[in-house]
Structure 1
């Protein structure tokens, strides 16, 4: 049999054909495989294909051969990512607000290459990113990469922190750049945040990554290591509602028993919950950052949750409610 022009690439093209055109529901017979190889100008006989399939299995590709009628049908069994896992990743990428619509579509397209052409069709049907609220910062990939590099190199960073103006344009919050020591990246409430130490104020602060612009790695070493030795990221994010800062305060929330699940979902199972004096109610002790965001969350729960202590927080919440009533007169 004359050799094809791409004969040295036979094993590569065989793997490519099986990965792209087969899955648990779709297979190729030996004649099909020979025909597909011929499209790549690779000639082969059955015996050599059997040997090649064994070689592919030896290097970790799960090629399954099953009897179907008078032929054996070959297909890929398990993959690095199962279809259900890819669907989950597609949904996650589509939901992330900090990734632009353009980048989301590009990432999802790349994920489809990890499935067969038949499975890729199912993934593409899920591609409904258009119209969702997305960041407009196309450089966020590179911003995240720079932050990771700065953390790895133990360096400070500088950046412009942006905000929207009335003309719907992103403008710097202040003229001079922010200079901080980056320590952690975290995801909260559909946004990506940098947790950092601000030397000027001597405090841990956080910044939305999609609002950071013109980031630069500085020659200065990071500061604030002592603040992060016992840093509890979960506690920090639970305390900082909506990722707006504030000092941590222990607060007692009196909640209807049927609403206890809402409190546990928000603060986790390690909080203290005891029966309240009022039948059908419980008292939960939680640490929060007392802020407008916290009060807004409490307000949204209506008469099912009440701030019981400390008195200073109860008073601050009553003042906030009275200010709202006055505002709407």
Structure 2
């Protein structure tokens, strides 16, 4: 009787079966492994199965056996433990810049890194359908291109758009391409931003990656950033990546606001006691509507002391809001 062409794949089929169908709670007996091989038209004896299992173990696969009520063989340690995969799945499903379709695709790939039984536990964690997701499918690949441009030190070009009330793309600058020397990528407020030198504007600016279209890496060397430019410091100054006037702001805060201030401005800021129940802090920040929204949300817990122009701007906005809601 002629041997099946799959016979020489016997060890590989065993490896695939063990990786996909076994874990500590779901071992497979030698008989079950033989039956699985038979479904592939591969014949095997018990001794040859043991030899193959030993070969896989020598190759680096963590093949373990268990005795008792549910004896059998299974894959123990894997590149990712189940809690780690759950963490990655949650990160993917919560990333606003990854589209729903790409999220589903990535999660399916993560499920392939464990057994089908444990993959079901990952599926119970997936609630992508109700999450707000970007409508720009190309963002996944744009990030890869931007990393390549940063590594190569090259300028990138792209068209930049907003959505109108009909959910249609409306390109800025009449559809002309932007040319930017990239300095870094920032993850802020559930969005990716490119920070770089915009030659047309003559200044450092930032752009949401999911609002870029037709992104291309050029052969033009990127321009060097301003001396001492720090991408992380740039991100820390911008509330929600909104643009505005930059200034050195002095805040007076109630003591329970320490955690809020440290979360927002980092552990390096200096807190100066001001009486028994307050402290002051001076920070570099960009004064924008987003900053004022943050400040208003903290109520009497935080007071803006200076500079005068920022205090006056905040006072004016509060007055406008008060008049808008007068009955």
Task: Give 1:289's aligned residue.
Answer: 286
> In 2 relative to 1, CA 83–244 (structure 1 residues): closer, same or farther, beyond 3 Å?
same
Contact 2:157–2:216, Cα closer than 8 Å, also in 1: yes
Give the Å deviation of 1:81.
Answer: 0.9
Task: Give 1:29's aligned residue.
Answer: 29
TM-score, length basis structure 1: 0.92
Contact 2:245–2:288, Cα closer than 8 Å, also in 1: no
Larger deviation, residues 103-112 vs 244-253:
244-253
Give the Å deviation of 1:221.
Answer: 1.6
Give the Å deviation of 1:247.
Answer: 5.0
Task: Note if 1:99 corresponds to 2:98.
Answer: yes
Give the Å deviation of 1:118.
Answer: 0.5
Q: Which runs of 5+ in 2 are unaligned?
A: none
Give the Å deviation of 1:3.
Answer: 4.2
Task: Give 1:156's aligned residue.
Answer: 155
Give the Å deviation of 1:72.
Answer: 4.7
- How far, CA to CA, are the matches of 2:129 and 2:309 in structure 1? 46
> In 2 relative to 1, CA 247–260 (structure 1 residues): closer, same or farther, beyond 3 Å?
same
TM-score, length basis structure 2: 0.93
Give the Å deviation of 1:226.
Answer: 3.9
Task: Note if 1:316 corresponds to 2:305.
Answer: no
Q: Which runs of 5+ in 1 are unaligned?
A: none
Task: Note if 1:302 corresponds to 2:322.
Answer: no
Give the Å deviation of 1:154.
Answer: 2.3
Contact 1:93–1:104, Cα closer than 8 Å, also in 2: yes
- How far, CA to CA, are the matches of 1:42 and 1:246 in structure 2? 69
Deviations 1:146-174 (A, max 9, x none): 22232233221211111011322121022
Task: Give 2:270's aligned residue.
Answer: 272
- How far, CA to CA, are the matches of 1:153 and 1:232 in structure 2? 19
Contact 2:182–2:194, Cα closer than 8 Å, also in 1: yes
SS of 2:161's equivalent in the other structure is strand
Task: Give 1:240's aligned residue.
Answer: 238
Task: Give 1:257's aligned residue.
Answer: 255
Contact 1:254–1:282, Cα closer than 8 Å, also in 2: yes
- How far, CA to CA, are the matches of 2:118 and 2:3 in structure 1? 33
- How far, CA to CA, are the matches of 1:297 and 1:216 in structure 2? 36
